[in-house]
Structure 1
Amino acid sequence: MPHQVAVITGAGAGIGRATARTLARAGCDVALIGRDRARLEDAAAELAGLHVRTAVLVADVAEADALEQAADAIEDQLGPITLWVNCAGAGVSGQFVALSPDEIRRATEVTYLGTVFGTRAALARMRRRGYGTIVNLDALGLPRPLRAVESGARAAIRAFTESLRPEILHDGDRIHLSLVHLPAINTPRFAWTRNRTGKRLRPAGPVYEPEIAAEAISHAAFGRHRDVWVGLSGLGRRLAGLLAPTLVDRRQSVRSYAAQLEKNPAESDAPDSLFAPVAGAYAAHGRFDLIARKTMPPLITTTIRTAAIGVALVAGAGAALSLLRRRD
């Protein structure tokens, strides 16, 4: 395996910051990309004791030229990029009709186009050498009400990733493109997401610490897995959505609202990171350590998922056949 130079977008806090630590412990030199220089430098200082080289690049992932310049600077400082992880994202929560076009556009550009532009910058350089790994994130868990914009962006990332894989295979490059499907993660984003709900935001469903997400990303990158699902709940709910979509819609319309909102009202003047970074010392964790799970759940790879869906379909077909026989 060649020496690893890993690039992480959104590296100043949350999943990106936890991923930087995990990859540095694995021996990778790490380039950190984000909008807040102070936070990136603080993240780089955390890696100093791990005896790896680091590079700090300030860039907005929604600007393709800025990412291209950052990628050139990384290769000048650290060497050829072998691993690129797209962790950056931005969101706005609230009833869709209450969101402004500028908010919708910005959240989509950062989350979706940030991944697209990051993938493009990585792929252009990896193709010069014919190898490398890119990891994208399906970081919402499930489409949820009040988060329609981010849900749309994550769906676009899934389709983009799946469409790009055949192109890479067609050209014969040894470039691996992985997609990691994450549940709710305890990051600072719940404090700095633009919030139009009037209530404080909280994660819905099983909540895991960012180190769990970072381990899954590392597993996908070094194991060269096509897809990695963290835990069973998201996979089960997606299967339920295929089998009983109307029932899932009704359940979401009631339970998902309550699951994502606290009783306490949100601060009307709270800063958010949609258009500019929020000042202050933020690290990987958010404020939900008391409820976040620390132990690694099952990691479901594509092969395991295919087998599980096959078993579920066979069981469903068997139940349907049994019911028809009883009617006869």
Structure 2
Amino acid sequence: MSQVVAITGASGGIGRAAVREFARRGADVALIARGTVGLENAAAEAREQGVRAIAIPTDVADADQVEAAVERIESELGPIDVWVNVAFTSVFAKFDDISPDEFRRVTEVSYLGYVYATMAVLKRMRERDRGTIVQVGSALAYRGIPLQSAYCGAKHAIQGFHESLRTELLHERSNIHVTMVQMPALNTPQFSWVLSRLPKHAQPVPPIYQPEVAARAIAYAADHPKRREYWVGSTTALTLIANAVAPGLLDRYLARTGFSSQQTGELSDEDQQPNLWEPADGAGGRDFGAHGAFDGKSRNQSSQQWVAHHYPQAAAVAAVGLAGAAALALGRRR
């Protein structure tokens, strides 16, 4: 029987790439997002792999809609084995330039959407005492940066929620697993649809990775969910380590560089339609796909990710290398 995987934010970016990855592996997939164009196209791509796929337009900020989506998935595809929370929205602006309603909306989608989805699927997984929930996070779940206060706040909240839920499941000796994947800067369409009040076009902070790197990390985490979290990309690892060791120094560094590094040299597009209140790929909209506008600057691989996924082998190679170096040094001394 095929694995059943449900993915929020499935119409574009990380979610779209994750749909392709799980479908390629033979999983039946349920796709959840607000829009219809990207969602239906993503489902069609999955079906081309010979798997079942259903597209369910859903606003994850509405708990009732999420509950209905979970009910439909289980009735049409069967018990959900893996749930992946990806959906988010954001505002690129200084904190003073964000309205209370905008901040609330980002929080409802990017944080409470994870909570509502986890609530809905967890109670069904509890009946079976099995299942995996993957929370897609970010380096910004630990390290806040300028111009993204609403998004950083939501990611920090997800991190705390994830840790709390994980400890409860461990206490119960549950066979349900939750894990979190902390992402680096990614080349997704969000920079073409996010609400931005920046003078220049928004961009991810280089180095930038392709969404397929994220998708492979999500699939690996789903296969190995006993680990509490995964870091993707060397920049994520370096950022989290630096923040743990010298957060004040990092504050000052980001104050100097965080504004310019998140903007290109091009002026913002005044006609850009933000997806904060309505989906960017709504009725008559375009399919943004998985990739954003930075293909020429993005990496398809992450050596750090390979090491994280193969650390026993990497440790063995390192041990052999150290032993060889030690033997060589000893021979020279003789």
TM-score of the aligned structures, taking structure 1 as reference length = 0.89
Out of 61-70 and 171-180, give the one that drifted further: 171-180
Q: Which deviations, in whole Å up to 9, do the C-alpha atoms of 1:227-258 show, x marking residues without a partner?
A: 11112222222222232222211110111111
Do the aligned residues in 1 keep the contact of 2:20 with 2:46 (CA within 8 Å)?
Answer: yes
Q: Which deviations, in whole Å up to 9, do the C-alpha atoms of 1:7-60 show, x marking residues without a partner?
A: 000000100000001011111100000111222110011112211101111110
Alignment of 1:276-315 (within 5 A): 276-278=278-280, 279-299=285-305
State the distance in 1 between where 2:310 and 2:45 align.
Answer: 36
Do the aligned residues in 1 keep the contact of 2:234 with 2:302 (CA within 8 Å)?
Answer: no
State the distance in 2 between where 1:173 and 1:84 align.
Answer: 16
Unmatched tracts of structure 1, length 5 or more: 309-328
Counterpart of 1:255, as a letter, is T
Alignment of 1:1-328 (within 5 A): 3-139=2-138, 141=140, 142-224=143-225, 225-278=227-280, 279-299=285-305
State the distance in 1 between where 2:195 and 2:139 align.
Answer: 16
State the distance in 2 between where 1:230 and 1:11 align.
Answer: 20
Counterpart of 2:193, as a letter, is W
Unmatched tracts of structure 2, length 5 or more: 316-334
Deviation of the 1:67 alpha carbon:
0.4
State the distance in 1 between where 2:272 and 2:49 align.
Answer: 36
State the distance in 2 between where 1:283 and 1:180 align.
Answer: 21
Structure 2 CA distance for partners of 1:140 and 1:280, relative to 1, 3 Å? farther
State the distance in 2 between where 1:163 and 1:302 align.
Answer: 25
Do the aligned residues in 1 keep the contact of 2:139 with 2:236 (CA within 8 Å)?
Answer: no
Counterpart of 2:20, as a letter, is R
Structure 2 CA distance for partners of 1:296 and 1:303, relative to 1, 3 Å? closer
State the distance in 1 between where 2:244 and 2:304 align.
Answer: 22
Do the aligned residues in 1 keep the contact of 2:14 with 2:212 (CA within 8 Å)?
Answer: yes
Match of 1:315 in 2: none
State the distance in 2 between where 1:282 and 1:269 align.
Answer: 16
TM-score of the aligned structures, taking structure 2 as reference length = 0.87
State the distance in 1 between where 2:304 and 2:244 align.
Answer: 22
SS of residue paired to 1:172:
coil
Out of 239-248 and 200-209, give the one that drifted further: 239-248
% same residue: 43
State the distance in 2 between where 1:178 and 1:240 align.
Answer: 23
Post-superposition, which runs of at least 4 consecutive aligned residues in structure 1 deviate over 6 A? none
State the distance in 1 between where 2:194 and 2:10 align.
Answer: 17
Deviation of the 1:302 alpha carbon:
10
Aligned length: 304
Out of 48-57 and 66-75, give the one that drifted further: 48-57
Deviation of the 1:144 alpha carbon:
1.2
Deviation of the 1:5 alpha carbon:
0.4
Deviation of the 1:3 alpha carbon:
3.6
Deviation of the 1:301 alpha carbon:
5.1
Counterpart of 1:43, as a letter, is A
Match of 1:316 in 2: none
Deviation of the 1:208 alpha carbon:
0.5
Q: Which deviations, in whole Å up to 9, do the C-alpha atoms of 1:57-105 show, x marking residues without a partner?
A: 1110000110000000011110001100001000001110111001100
State the distance in 2 between where 1:170 and 1:130 align.
Answer: 14
State the distance in 2 between where 1:105 and 1:130 align.
Answer: 34
